[in-house]
A and B are shown apart, each in its own frame.
Chain A
Amino acid sequence: MTLKDKATESLRRVTRFTPARWWRNAAIERTAWTVLVWLLFGLFVLGPLATVVLFSFTRSVFQGVTPNTLEWYVALFTKPELYGPLIRSFEIALIVAVIQLFLGTLIAYATVRNRIWGAKTLDAMSNITIALPSVVVGLALLAFYGAFGPAHLLTDLIFGNPLTLTFTIWIVVLAHVLETFPYMVRAVGAVLQKMDPNLEGAARSLGASKFYVFRTITLPQLRPGLVAGSVLVLSRSIAEFGATIIVVAAALRTAPIKIYSEAEAGSLEIAAAYSVVLMLVSFTAYLAMSRWLIKGWEREHLQE
């Protein structure tokens, strides 16, 4: 190719250039999409979270957002009025997770295996608390179990001793159970649907009792569902706010409510430190349990 030919070819390439052709270049297109998506994600998701982290290391946001102190974290872990609600959150989440292991599994088993009348309806209705605003759930509990509700009136009528759950630990646990049980039902139900019911049938035909079949065949296979469900329940319970703020007693305030009240009281920095700790706890629990336990189970069973 002569120099003239090369020049002509270059000129032709340049004149062929159009934005549409340039855009069709796969590498450029990918880069552009990457920038756009990360920019949007950064702006709407990571940006606000990163700002909370910055606030948590700032002495006073009114003096400018400059990360220059650890005093809010020190206060968080040394003052009982600050670390108390964090402990309350874990305690309540733990109780709720244990209840869900039984209640959620029972509902999932009954609906997926079609063991009760109205299983399909129950299955559809088990999502109801996801659809409802959580503040409505709180109000419903207060209405039903409060001093003016049917539980109060009925127990007064029957036992002569009215039952009022208002501002007790039980109503908080109930609120969290209602808010979280769809997560356990869905997680366990998904695993149950993939399980081959013939395995259980075969064991039963060989003379195994129902309990033995459940313990040795069903339960081990449910493990990833139970773990995933528990992680979701724990995370959701630790983060629960809407229903809790209506029913919770002062002594049982949880971490999200403490964050709200600190922000309301003008202590944005300590509310931010609190939020960072809560974020870390949630992410760590989620990653550790889902990666380690579920992957571990998969490895174990794939090797088998």
Chain B
Amino acid sequence: MTGDKLSAALLVALLVGATAALVDLRATQRESLVVYTTPALKEVLENDVIPRFTSRTGIDVIPMYIPAGQQYNRLRIGSRTPEADVFLHASPMYLEKGYAEGRFEPYELPRGLNLTPEYMSRPVEGGRIWHAFAWTPLVTVYNPRFEEAPDYATTTAKLGLAHPLLSNNGIYAVVLFEKVSREAGQNALAHAASQPTNARATVNGVADGSYDAALGYEAATRFYQEQGASVRDAIPTINGTQYVVPVLFSAGIVKDHRNPHAKAFIDFLFDSTTQFRLNQFDLRPVLPDYPTASDALPVTGNGIRQVPVDWSRWREFEAALPRYEVKA
């Protein structure tokens, strides 16, 4: 083949390839169900929920893992043509805020699910804003060279405090301090060495020695422990008392979403198989009578206190968030 013929053949091949690529890319985008979610749910979504959902319905699901704050901003940028169908994050705050700003639509779960009120939003016209399908406690993740987890009121250890404006992990840390002790929060902030932007990065910082302890999620800690990371966890302690803050993995439906199967995906999260298998991923089910992992931390008894959170008062938490940002 002469040089000219080879060039012509290459050019034709490039043109055909580019056209085929364009068709494939457009089809991929048009047919997929996009879920904005958190790295903390990566294992359960990719190894259980999504493969089963896709094999049952034939619908491709694309999870996108970036911090909740960033994803909420992407929703705002998308305006009336959002790319996401489902918003599945570790706290209901952005869902409540988004509902107030007209970015989420209410929905009802299938009848007969025995979901208790702490796992769903207040009723609104058209259903509820969000439902939590799993939960995990907020924990202190710490380096095993410490005999016990630090007490945030008095600790001088180097801490990782997740970014309050970008990460739900940061929001939960703020909730704990605002509801239990602002002084402990200020002490923690004074010793914060880093502000990771997601729950896994928070645990990673303890595992790689960037800081001594952090407020993270039990499920994310187990993920690192199973990989061999040397980290321990405990229910957070403030002034000698342990406090349980439940981290609620909550789902909402994006208003004006394109894929008609968004609701079906959320229903699937409450399916009995999904709830039954949550413990394999160190998450706790929200429906009664489903198992919890055997190595899960005890969250009741021995003077452990519960920190109830009313997410409809999200504005109070949001107003407090900037106070927990490490200023340069």
- Real complex partners, A and B? yes
| Partner of B207 from A62, A84, A147, A167 at Cβ < 8 Å | A62
20 contacts between A and B (CB under 8 A): A62-B224, A63-B227, A81-B63, A88-B25, A91-B25, A94-B17, A98-B15, A142-B77, A146-B79, A147-B78, A168-B29, A169-B29, A220-B4, A249-B83, A250-B84, A251-B29, A264-B66, A264-B200, A264-B201, A266-B201
Q: Is B305 an interface residue (CB 8 A)?
A: no
- CA gap between A144 and B84 in the complex, in Å: 21
Q: Hey, which chain A residues are within 8 Å of B17, CB to CB?
A: 94
Q: Is A92 an interface residue (CB 8 A)?
A: yes
Q: How far is the CB of B18 from chain A (nearest CB, A)?
A: 4
Once A62-B229, A166-B77, A264-B65 are accepted as A-B contacts, the answer to whether A94 and B3 lie under 8 Å apart by CB is no
* Contact in complex: B203, A250 (CB < 8 Å): no
Within 8 A of A (CB), among B17-63: 17-18, 21-22, 24-26, 28-29, 32, 34, 36, 39, 42, 46, 50, 62-63
Q: How far is the CB of B220 from chain A (nearest CB, A)?
A: 8
Q: Is A285 an interface residue (CB 8 A)?
A: no
Once A91-B25, A250-B36, A252-B25 are accepted as A-B contacts, the answer to whether A261 and B66 lie under 8 Å apart by CB is yes
* Contact in complex: B22, A169 (CB < 8 Å): yes
Within 8 A of B (CB), among A257-289: 261, 264-267
Q: Is B204 an interface residue (CB 8 A)?
A: yes
Q: Is B198 an interface residue (CB 8 A)?
A: yes
- CA gap between A97 and B16 in the complex, in Å: 12
* Contact in complex: B79, A63 (CB < 8 Å): no
* Contact in complex: B25, A250 (CB < 8 Å): no
Chain B residues within 8 Å of chain A by Cβ, number: 49
* Contact in complex: A146, B77 (CB < 8 Å): yes
Q: Is B81 an interface residue (CB 8 A)?
A: yes
- CA gap between A173 and B253 in the complex, in Å: 29
Q: Hey, which chain A residues are within 8 Å of B25, CB to CB?
A: 88, 91-92, 95, 169, 252
* Contact in complex: A223, B22 (CB < 8 Å): no
List 4 additional A-B contacts (Cβ < 8 Å) besides A164-B79, A166-B79, A265-B42: A84-B28, A166-B78, A250-B64, A266-B227
Q: In this complex, which of A94, A169, A220, A266 has the most chain B Cβ atoms within 10 angstroms of its Cβ?
A: A266
- CA gap between A168 and B229 in the complex, in Å: 40
Q: How far is the CB of A108 from chain B (nearest CB, A)?
A: 17
* Contact in complex: B21, A250 (CB < 8 Å): no
Q: Is A297 an interface residue (CB 8 A)?
A: yes
- CA gap between A7 and B91 in the complex, in Å: 89
Q: Hey, which chain B residues are within 8 Å of A5, CB to CB?
A: none
| Partner of A265 from B14, B32, B65, B79 at Cβ < 8 Å | B65
- CA gap between A136 and B248 in the complex, in Å: 36
Q: Is B80 an interface residue (CB 8 A)?
A: yes
Once A60-B228, A266-B39 are accepted as A-B contacts, the answer to whether A261 and B77 lie under 8 Å apart by CB is no
Q: In the complex, which residue of chain B has the Cβ closest to the Cβ of A220?
A: B4
| Partner of B14 from A60, A91, A98, A261 at Cβ < 8 Å | A98
* Contact in complex: A98, B18 (CB < 8 Å): yes
* Contact in complex: A266, B224 (CB < 8 Å): yes
* Contact in complex: A265, B77 (CB < 8 Å): no
Q: Hey, which chain A residues are within 8 Å of B32, CB to CB?
A: 250-251
* Contact in complex: B200, A265 (CB < 8 Å): yes
* Contact in complex: A63, B228 (CB < 8 Å): yes
* Contact in complex: A62, B230 (CB < 8 Å): yes
* Contact in complex: A62, B228 (CB < 8 Å): yes
Instruction: Mark A68-79 against chain B: 1 for CB-CB distance below 8 A, else 0.
Output: 000000000001
Q: Hey, which chain A residues are within 8 Å of B320, CB to CB?
A: none
- CA gap between A46 and B22 in the complex, in Å: 36
Q: Hey, which chain A residues are within 8 Å of B79, CB to CB?
A: 146-148, 164, 166
Q: In the complex, which residue of chain A has the Cβ closest to the Cβ of B204?
A: A266
* Contact in complex: B3, A101 (CB < 8 Å): no
Q: Hey, which chain B residues are within 8 Å of A63, CB to CB?
A: 227-228
Q: Is A253 an interface residue (CB 8 A)?
A: yes
Q: In the complex, which residue of chain A has the Cβ closest to the Cβ of B29?
A: A251
- CA gap between A252 and B62 in the complex, in Å: 10
- CA gap between A142 and B207 in the complex, in Å: 37
Q: How far is the CB of B85 from chain A (nearest CB, A)?
A: 10
Q: How far is the CB of B16 from chain A (nearest CB, A)?
A: 10
- CA gap between A79 and B46 in the complex, in Å: 10
* Contact in complex: A101, B83 (CB < 8 Å): no
- CA gap between A62 and B110 in the complex, in Å: 43
Q: How far is the CB of A85 from chain B (nearest CB, A)?
A: 10
Q: Is A196 an interface residue (CB 8 A)?
A: no
Instruction: Mark B193-205 against chain A: 1 for CB-CB distance below 8 A, else 0.
Output: 0000110110110
Once A249-B29, A252-B28, A264-B201 are accepted as A-B contacts, the answer to whether A60 and B21 lie under 8 Å apart by CB is no
* Contact in complex: A60, B227 (CB < 8 Å): yes
Q: In this complex, which of B7, B224, B230 has the most chain A Cβ atoms within 10 angstroms of its Cβ?
A: B7
* Contact in complex: A266, B200 (CB < 8 Å): yes
- CA gap between A95 and B230 in the complex, in Å: 46
Q: Hey, which chain B residues are within 8 Å of A223, CB to CB?
A: 3, 7
Q: Hey, which chain B residues are within 8 Å of A252, CB to CB?
A: 25, 28-29
Once A265-B200, A266-B204 are accepted as A-B contacts, the answer to whether A147 and B29 lie under 8 Å apart by CB is no
